[in-house]
Every structure is written in C-alpha cells, then in structure tokens.
Structure 1
Amino acid sequence: MFSAYSPRAANAYQRINIETSMHTIDQHQLVSLLYEGVLNSIATARGAMARGDVVGKVNAISKALRIIEEGLSTALDRVDGGELASNLGALYDYCTQRLILANARNDDAMMQEVMKLIEPVAQGWNEIKKNGVLAADAPAPASGQPALVEA
C-alpha cells in the first residue's frame, strides 16, 4: 500500500516546492536570498576546511561561485544600471577570483575577505526594503536614474 521512503521522491517534492516559491517571491527578496546563500556557503566552506573536509569545502565554494556568477552577476542591468551595476559587477568578479584562489590554496583569510565584502552589500540591500520604496514602485525622477523614495 505505502512504499518505503524514497530520497529521489523527496528531492522531487523539494525541487517543486523551491520552483513554486521562486514564482511567488519578489525580485528584491530573491536577491536577498542570493546574498544569504553566498554567505552561508562560504561559512560552510570555512567550517569544512577547518574540519579537513575537502569535498565539503569544494562543494560549498562551488555553490557560492554559482550563486555569484549565475545569480547575482547575471541579474545586474549592465545597460541601464550605470556605475552601481558596473561596481557590483567588478566586486562579484573580484569575489569569484578570491574564492577560486581560496579553494586552491586552502586560504581561510581569502574566504573571510569575500564575506567582509559581501556582507555590507547584503545588509545595504536589505535596508533598501526596510527604509524606502524601491525605484520600481516610485515615479521616475527627471534625471532618469533609479531613485529611492522614503516611505
């Protein structure tokens, strides 16, 4: 009547749950989750490295790199994003290089450096939603640049 627990079936349900939630989440919250994912992955890599878990470290760094490259970096509007998008792109590129080196050299200081660079950006991103209205919700300023309107 009932079958035994199947990890494959559980993974399918988890994947469906994630895909469904991705369609209902707003873009600001999605970027917040990406930042959180990068920071958590780096913390996991640092812990794995401290334990001597090479596979765990490599997997966690790989996850952080994928989030930066496929999530955060590709989400930048490099055409209309101006100097901010350009600066964030440069930051993401630098963080990617540092994580690759940290992985190759087992260098915890490099991983800490990336965390220290990403954390303030993530905090600032979260403060945007708390303290104001995003530019998409506000009328466009005369300059054509994105703006924050205080709530």
Structure 2
Amino acid sequence: MTLQKPYQAYQNNAVNTASGGELTLMLYNGCLKFIKQAMKDVQEKNYENKNTNIQKAQAIIQELIVTLDQNADISKQIMPLYNYMYQRLMEANMKNDLDILEEVQGLVTEFRDTWKQVILLNRKKQYTQGGHV
C-alpha cells in the first residue's frame, strides 16, 4: 500500500503538469489499455469486466469528442472517426466481438502514433525557434 502512494502521487503530478497534447496522448494510451484488457476479458469469458473496460474506452472516446477543437478544419475529418470508434465499441460490447475490438484498437493506435509525431514536431519547432540551435 505504501508503494502505491508515491506512484499515485507521480501519476497525479504527471497529469497535472502535462500539456494539452500530452493529455491527449494519455487519453489514447488509456483507451488502448482498456481495449486490450477487454479483449483479454472476452477471451477469458469474463463478461462483466469486459463490459467495464469497453465502457471506460468509450468514456475516453467521448472525452476526445468533447475536447475536439470544432474550429480546426481537421475536426471535420476526425469527428466521424471518433463517432465510428464509439459505435464499434458498443457493437463489440454487445457481440463480445474480438475482431471489432482489434479494429478499434488499430484506429486508436494510428491516432496515438500520429499524435506522438505532432508532439515531437511541436517540441522540435519550439526548440529551434527558441534559439537553442
């Protein structure tokens, strides 16, 4: 129990000091974690936990939808994909369908990997504009 407290403090500090881009990356990673666990739950026929984990993944997708900047042109392309992933998670939950979970996992992974590149490019841009190079 005492080991958890420093780790929880570290996690809380990481979230509290993260930039918006880093928070989005954390959301993608959390979503992937819950999808992977749901897949394991389906395989083990642990349907109660599967339901909980898919609902957690859906909650993250909802958060991504709510926080999407509607003024950005790219949002018009991202929103339908988020909605699609949310609907597919609902379907996977009803059908205990691993293929659908794998499909959504692939989409979330693509978003996450792209987002990582955006963060890296922004950091590089900030670094070079800051006169450090």
Amino acid at match of 1:49: V
Amino acid at match of 1:128: V
Q: TM-score, normalised by structure 1?
A: 0.73
- Partner SS, residue 77 of structure 1: coil
> How far does residue 121 in structure 1 lie from its aligned partner after superposition?
1.4
Q: d(CA) in 2 for partners of 1:114 and 1:135?
A: 31
> How far does residue 132 in structure 1 lie from its aligned partner after superposition?
3.9
Quick one: higher RCO (CA 8 Å, sep 6+), 1 or 2? 2
> How far does residue 12 in structure 1 lie from its aligned partner after superposition?
9.5
Indicate the RMSD between aligned Cα atoms, in angstroms. Answer: 2.9
Q: d(CA) in 1 for partners of 2:81 and 2:125?
A: 23
How many residue pairs are counted as aligned between the two chains?
A: 129
Q: d(CA) in 2 for partners of 1:27 and 1:105?
A: 35
Amino acid at match of 1:67: I
* Alpha carbons of structure 1 residues 111 and 32: separation in structure 2 relative to 1, 3 Å: same
- Partner SS, residue 81 of structure 1: coil
Q: d(CA) in 2 for partners of 1:12 and 1:132?
A: 33
Give unpaired runs (5+ residues) of structure 1. 1-10, 140-150
1:1-151 paired onto structure 2 within 5 Å: 19-69=12-62, 71-78=63-70, 80-82=71-73, 84-133=74-123
Give unpaired runs (5+ residues) of structure 2. none
Q: d(CA) in 1 for partners of 2:59 and 2:24?
A: 14
Q: d(CA) in 2 for partners of 1:68 and 1:134?
A: 28
Q: TM-score, normalised by structure 2?
A: 0.82
Larger radius of gyration: 1
